[in-house]
Amino acid sequence: MVTKVRVATMVVLLVLSFRACQAHLSSTFYAKTCPFALNIIRSSIRFAIARERRMAASLIRLHFHDCFVQGCDASILLDDSSSTSERSVGQNNNSVRGFEVINQAKAAVEEVCPGVVSCADILAVAARDASEYVGGPCWTVKLGRRDSTSAASASLASSQLPLFTDDLKTLIDRFKAKGLSKRDMVALSGSHTIGQAHCFTFRDRIYSNGSDIDVGFASTRRRKCPATGPNGDYNLAPLDLVTPNSFDNNYFKNLLQKKGLLQTDQVLLSGGSTDSIVTEYSKNPSTFRSDFAAAMVRMGDIEPLTGSAGIIRRACTCSAAN
């Protein structure tokens, strides 16, 4: 009986602890301490994307890669050249970008409110502002995250970030491990309506002569992606051939035509449990937009550091606190 009481007490404490952690995240977190923070970040992000449209996709992806490894703590921003840090893994190395844009936004905020706004929150806001700038959905960002004091390990990153070779079950399992559903996964994959991918990530697919890829599409992609590397490994191709710079639902329409660039794109429509979601989003852009926004909010809730945990960094690439 005593054991049961102890177990019950522990469960209650864990639930209360979780709720307390979540309670620290609020859209009005900086209302009194830095009321102009969101406007400053938005201006900085808009300026960066106006200079380079591709940056919108890069910032959304940067937030995703941060949250999936060690939680949404801006650990990916730390300038750690070590071969054992998260930046060194294949999913990130020579791939994730936008660090300088976040640094500039942080510097602008620091001039007005030094030591108040975390890099983790700037990442979350930047992803929202990037989506909105290129015609995507806008959502209310919950704030109050704090920054980690160290980068995540390479082994952790490599085991938790999706690979471009993952099959559907593996993808579903990776997202489930982060508290995200299949529907969240498909909605978030829709961010591939913008952005570009390196040749080496889709080379096998376009030269496979498989039945799951449109012949004409494969032929077009081969023009700038040679059959063997390393030559051309880092040549870029848009993930969405139709409207590569606008956030819309053409990504899902492309999948119906077997024109998904990555294996992990086309596998969403391959006779599996996500087929119906892809079809729904291809027909209902408003549903996709609302689901994407909701999924981004849920992703932003992954293991945040709040309260006295973590720090507020002076600069996003440095682990020193303010």
Just list the catalytic residues.
Answer: 65
Q: How far apart are CA 249 and CA 268, in angstroms?
A: 14
CB 53 within 8 A of CB 236: no
Q: How far apart are CA 192 and CA 40, in angstroms?
A: 27
Closest CA to 213 of 270, 161, 295, 160: 270
Is residue 11 packed enough to be buried (19+ CB in 10 Å), middle (13-18) or exposed (0-12)?
Answer: exposed
Give first-to-last CA distance, the chain, whole Å.
49
Residue type, 130: A
Give me the phi and psi of 149, to 5 degrees please: -95, -5
